[in-house]
Amino acid sequence: MWLTTERARNRLAAEKSIFSAAIDGDIPLCLIYPNEYAVGMSNLGFQAAYKIFTQHESCRCERAFLPDPDEAAALRRTGAPLASLETQRPLADFEILAFSISFETDYLHILDMLAAAHIPLRAAERTPRHPLVIAGGPATFLNPEPIADFIDLFLIGEGEEMIPEFLERYASLERETNDPALRLQALSTIAGAYVPTLFQPAYDATGHLAQVTQVTPSARTPQTVQDVQASSQAPTVQRRLVMDLDAYPTTSQLLTQETVFGDMFLVEASRGCEWGCRFCAAGFMYRPVRYRSTAALTQQVTQGLQERQTIGLIGAEMASQPGIAGLCEFIGQAGGRASPSSLKADVITQDLACAVGHNNTHSVTVAPEAGSERMRQVINKNLTEPEILRATELLIGGGVQALKLYFMMGLPTETQDDVDAIGTLTQKIHSRFCGKRARIGRITLSINAFVPKPWTPLQWEPMEELPALRRKMARLQKQLARLPRVTVDIESPREAYYQTVLSRGDRRVGQLLLDIHAHGGDWWSVVQRWRREAKRRPGALNPDFFVHRRYDSQEQLPWDFIDHGVDKHYLWVEWRKALLERQTPPCDVTSCRSCAACKE
């Protein structure tokens, strides 16, 4: 198709690769990001996976992305199949399709892309002539069940060691058998591999998950809960983790201007977070927190400064990174600009503020998350209002000209007073730093509804009802409307609802995704229809079951079969402490064993 081919040619010509690929191997594999090119190429995890696949001797790797809207329309009009970026090879002609999934809201795009590639959506409907469809990425670490019916194999966890193991095992199996079922069974023995067809969920009369068991290929379709219970012990999948980050530098590998961070060279500084905010999935699924050494980061930054003036330092919380002030100062002295991701207010030092501000970093992100002291205790933010005000004062004094503040709404136990406190805190920051004599140019508030995430202490909590959220958001907007140089960006509560369905759903949500795909992606209309049907017909699945219901502390959760190394009882204790407004100190990886992530 001319449109796609011409665009692909232009994009490839505009890219600069900073690594050398291995000689093409025997396994044709397409690495797919289920969103548009500009979004996918902004994702550091996707780029890291691409380098791993491309440099493996057995693999011949290309890329594919969700078509741009005009391309998608042309594909539908002509009937041409979705193809790879590099050679325009139809996706159906590859041996392996590997999806890299960072966000649950991209789940629907997987179906869209398989359909555009003329590949059956359900794994059970595919034949040996179709590609093996695998998936990995942070969204799948948390809960892969909503897309389990569409994926042959998941790789759960960090891929630096797991991807090469998978490719080596796959290459050896190619020489041993042509039976896809036997291959999948053999691949399932890789640590971190999850083959959904070998795991069987069963539900009780109330719709709750009753049992998940591993079954043999000869007994994949038990008819009752009792049949499933008799087939095997409850299975687990061990999430893979890389302890020595210095052994695997994670930086930008393909540079292009057609991304959100087109002017940046990205460097991953850490994984995980020591602070234990109870809503934050990254702080628990990446435990224990791991930092790259200052020496390794300095080397990677030096390489990056040869390509871009701005260095994006990536981590869940960057102010706690050992040596961060010195690293930012080094970047500035080398003529560059450091752009760290979110900084925890009470860890910001004067040295860090000056190092960031003096190298022309105009905007810094701080995440108070909640306006009131009480709510910050609930979510374990370990942050007081004086610390927030002191940090913003340091940043402005250091030369930063704009602040972005992240807040959440609809958190457990939240009252209207807690919501009003967001506006009050913003007004205090504004009165100090947006006056006539202040150098700060603007304040941007990003307001998001609380979405309960698997593997966090608040995973059992419901999302707040949409009408209540809308009322709170409207009141906050009115409260802040008269403040000059303050912009308020509010996420749609509907979007948060959809994200919660996909975050906390089980395998039955796959049918909802199929229905949404069949109706052109109009997910809200489909959700409303399902909700109406559930009221009319007892036993029909209501999406509210996953969104507005407080999960019982004793029930089996759809994602419990994944072993993140974090004790579920620890998460339960943290949940209770949240409701009691008690805080937990930050992780001490040298001596603490409370959550079990740090093994003896």
The pLDDT value given to residue 324: 96
Positive or negative: CA dihedral 203, 205, 210, 214: negative
Total residues belonging to the chain: 600
The pLDDT value given to residue 397: 82
Biggest CA–CA distance in the chain, Å, is: 75
What is the β-pairing status of strands 254-255 and 16-17?
antiparallel
The pLDDT value given to residue 230: 38
Positive or negative: CA dihedral 174, 175, 180, 186: negative
Q: What is residue 372's DSSP assignment?
A: S
Label residue 219 by pLDDT band (50, 70, 90). very low
Coil vs helix vs strand at 399: coil
Here the tokens at position 120 are 């059956």
Full DSSP string of 234-290: PP-EE-B--S-GGGS--B--EE-SSSTTTTEEEEE-EES-SS--TT-SHHHHTPSPE
Region of residue 247 (phi > 0: left; psi between -120 and 50: alpha; otherwise: beta)? alpha
Q: Which amino acid, residue 128? A: P
CATH number of 263-357: 3.30.750.210
222 pLDDT higher than 50: no
The pLDDT value given to residue 361: 67
Enumerate the H helices of 280-415 as residue ranges: 282-285, 294-305, 324-333, 350-357, 373-378, 385-397
In this structure, the number of other CB atoms found within 10 A of the CB of residue 273 comes to 22
The pLDDT value given to residue 451: 98
The pLDDT value given to residue 600: 55
The pLDDT value given to residue 2: 61
Q: Which residues of 548-576 are buried (b: 16+ CB within 10 A; e: fewer)?
A: eeebeeeebbbbbbbebbbeeebbeebbe
Here the tokens at position 569 are 């009882």
Which residue from 432, 447, 449, 422 is spatially nearest to 485, judged by alpha carbons? 432
227 pLDDT higher than 70: no
Q: Is the peptide bond before 288 cis (omega within 30 degrees of 0)?
A: yes
Label residue 381 by pLDDT band (50, 70, 90). very high
Which residue from 379, 350, 343, 383 is spatially nearest to 364, judged by alpha carbons? 343
Label residue 436 by pLDDT band (50, 70, 90). low
pLDDT mean over 358-379 = 89
pLDDT in tens, 247-267: 999 999 999 999 988 899 999
Q: Domain spans of the chain?
A: 2-192, 263-357, 362-579
Label residue 21 by pLDDT band (50, 70, 90). confident
pLDDT mean over 153-176 = 94
Higher pLDDT, 543 or 20: 543
228 pLDDT higher than 80: no
Q: Which amino acid, residue 64? A: A
Which residue from 396, 303, 314, 312 is spatially nearest to 358, judged by alpha carbons? 396
pLDDT in tens, 41-54: 999 999 999 999 99
The pLDDT value given to residue 232: 44
398 pLDDT higher than 60: yes
Positive or negative: CA dihedral 156, 160, 163, 169: negative
What dihedral angle (degrees, nearest 10) is formed by the CA atoms of 35, 39, 40, 42? -170
234 pLDDT higher than 80: no
The pLDDT value given to residue 220: 43
d(CA 108, CA 452): 20
pLDDT mean over 223-245 = 66
User: What percentage of the chain reaches a pLDDT higher than 70?
Assistant: 95
The pLDDT value given to residue 237: 95
362 pLDDT higher than 90: no
403 pLDDT higher than 80: yes
CATH topology match: 2-192 vs 362-579: no
The pLDDT value given to residue 111: 98
Here the tokens at position 92 are 């159906």
Structural fold of domain 362-579: Transcription Regulator spoIIAA (3.30.750)
pLDDT in tens, 290-310: 999 999 999 999 999 999 999
Helix (H) or strand (E) run with residue 38 in it: helix 37-40
With tokens 């925890």, the residue in question is 344
- The pair phi, psi for residue 508, each rounded to 5°, is -70, -20
455 pLDDT higher than 90: yes
Q: In a 10 Å sphere around its CB, with 0-12 CB exposed, 13-18 middle and 19+ buried, how is residue 481 labelled?
A: exposed
The pLDDT value given to residue 389: 93
pLDDT in tens, 191-213: 999 999 999 999 999 999 999 88
2-192 placed in CATH 3.30.420: no
Here the tokens at position 253 are 């590998």
